[in-house]
């Protein structure tokens, strides 16, 4: 996951640099208020604040002044197969990060949106169980009882063990964390073979857990007094580490590899491996550039055949493998 995020940030920076060059060629400019708001938001983040209003204002500026121009840049760049592939990679990882953000912030609408966006990727990667059961999950979530839906809209679908911002986690991960605690030295490790001890442990776990929290707060009064906490990845040291690693990747991409977004350079009309410079075969190029669309078709076909009222298929009918062709072996 960390490697994907680093690659996403590095490629996004390289793409944005080429976007600025493209703007100069088109005699276009981004507004000064964008750079001012970027600087303000960055300073607030580095100070450990949670500048929601600053982020919202920045998002408004980006949507109004940057995204329309970026869409034109991407449309023109799509004439290059290499540009098109790595632009699609950024989009795919962006969808993944939206899902992570939905869990961290407890944003129910964003959660559903990110799950829908992930469906084609499940299908093209031959994740059969996810391809089959995710549409069922979505239909169940769209038919929730009113009280449950309202609770989920308040963010209660994600788990928070402490008060804070951007620290929610998916319910299955919260369960895994508790299972890990149960298997630890203070859990069921030494009493698993004693049924009576396990029963007493299970019946009193909520009480002993409350005691444990109070003892921790007494032992660390400064942290308990702060109340609001942030995710460890938002700490100054973590942000500095991540920034340094992304800078290294950007340097590698721009100085030692083929820049996939410099479509004005000597870029062939075929898909190129940006690391080795080798050209993909027409079969590999076609497979990689159309894989998301193929995944969408696979999902739609499954839903129409197995889940729609008029569908003639069965839920457990085999889902054909995508047989995605890649650069493997090049």
Q: Would you place residue 231 in the very low, low, confident or very high pLDDT band (cuts 50, 70, 90)? A: low
233 token code pair: 């990845």
Count Cβ atoms within 10 A of the Cβ of residue 35 and give its class: 0-12 exposed, 13-18 middle, 19 or more buried: exposed
Q: Count H helices, E strands: the chain?
A: 14, 2
User: What's the pLDDT at 201?
Assistant: 78
Position 218 pLDDT exceeds 50:
yes
Distance between CA atoms of 49 and 52, rounded to whole angstroms?
9
The mean-pLDDT minimum among 84-93, 214-223, 294-303 falls in: 214-223
Whole-structure pTM value: 0.83
Question: pLDDT (tens digit, 9 = 90+) per residue, 68-125?
Answer: 999 999 999 998 999 999 999 999 999 999 999 999 889 999 999 999 999 999 999 9
Position 151 pLDDT exceeds 80:
yes
The mean-pLDDT minimum among 25-39, 99-113, 168-182, 221-235 falls in: 221-235
Distance between CA atoms of 263 and 274, rounded to whole angstroms?
13
Q: Would you place residue 205 in the very low, low, confident or very high pLDDT band (cuts 50, 70, 90)? A: confident
Phi, psi values for residue 28, rounded to 5°: -110, 155
Q: Would you place residue 252 in the very low, low, confident or very high pLDDT band (cuts 50, 70, 90)? A: very high
Q: Would you place residue 128 in the very low, low, confident or very high pLDDT band (cuts 50, 70, 90)? A: very high
User: What's the pLDDT at 238?
Assistant: 82
Q: Would you place residue 1 in the very low, low, confident or very high pLDDT band (cuts 50, 70, 90)? A: confident
Cα dihedral sign for 60, 61, 62, 64? positive
Helices 67-77/2-25 angle, 10° precision = 90
DSSP state of 306: I
Position 157 pLDDT exceeds 80:
yes
Contact 295, 122 (CB under 8 A): yes
Residue range 152-174: average pLDDT? 80
Q: Give which of 21, 111, 34, 102 is closest to 67, Cα–Cα.
A: 34
pLDDT over 70, % of the chain: 86
5 token code pair: 């995020």
Q: Give which of 23, 113, 18 is closest to 68, Cα–Cα.
A: 23
Cβ-Cβ contacts under 8 Å for 268 (sequence gap 6 or more): 279
Residue with tokens 């700490």: 235
With b for 16 or more beta-carbon neighbours within 10 A and e for fewer, the 87-104 pattern comes to bebbebbebbebbbebbb
Residue range 257-284: average pLDDT? 86
Residue with tokens 């007494």: 218
Question: pLDDT (tens digit, 9 = 90+) per residue, 10-47?
Answer: 999 999 999 999 999 999 999 999 999 988 888 887 77
């Amino acid at each position: 996951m960390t490697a994907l995020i680093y690659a996403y940030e590095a490629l996004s920076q390289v793409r944005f640099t080429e976007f600025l060059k493209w703007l100069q060629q088109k005699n276009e400019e981004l507004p000064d208020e964008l750079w001012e708001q970027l600087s303000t938001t960055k300073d607030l983040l580095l100070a450990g604040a949670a500048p929601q209003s600053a982020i919202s204002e920045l998002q408004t500026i980006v949507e109004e002044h940057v995204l329309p121009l970026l869409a034109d840049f991407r449309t023109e760049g799509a004439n290059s197969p290499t540009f098109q592939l790595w632009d699609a990679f950024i989009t795919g990882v962006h969808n993944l990060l939206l899902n992570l953000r939905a869990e961290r912030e407890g944003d129910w609408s964003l959660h559903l949106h990110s799950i829908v966006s992930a469906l084609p990727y499940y299908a093209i990667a031959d994740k059969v169980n996810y391809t089959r059961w995710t549409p069922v999950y979505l239909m169940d979530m769209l038919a929730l009882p009113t009280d449950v839906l309202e609770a989920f809209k308040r963010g209660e679908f994600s788990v928070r063990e402490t008060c804070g911002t951007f620290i929610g986690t998916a319910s299955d991960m919260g369960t895994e964390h508790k299972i890990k605690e149960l298997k630890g030295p203070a859990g069921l490790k030494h009493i698993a073979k004693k049924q009576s001890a396990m029963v007493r442990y299970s019946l009193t776990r909520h009480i002993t857990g409350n005691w444990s929290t109070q003892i921790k707060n007494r032992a660390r009064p400064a942290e308990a007094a702060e109340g609001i906490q942030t995710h460890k990845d938002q700490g100054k040291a973590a942000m500095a580490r991540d920034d340094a690693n992304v800078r290294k990747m950007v340097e590698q991409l721009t100085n030692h590899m083929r820049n996939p977004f410099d479509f004005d350079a000597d870029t062939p009309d075929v898909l190129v491996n940006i690391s080795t410079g080798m050209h993909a075969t027409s079969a590999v190029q076609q497979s990689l550039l159309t894989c998301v669309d193929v995944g969408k078709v696979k999902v739609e076909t499954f839903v129409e055949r197995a889940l729609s009222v008029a569908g003639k298929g069965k839920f457990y009918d085999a889902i054909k493998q995508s047989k995605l062709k890649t650069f493997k072996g090049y």
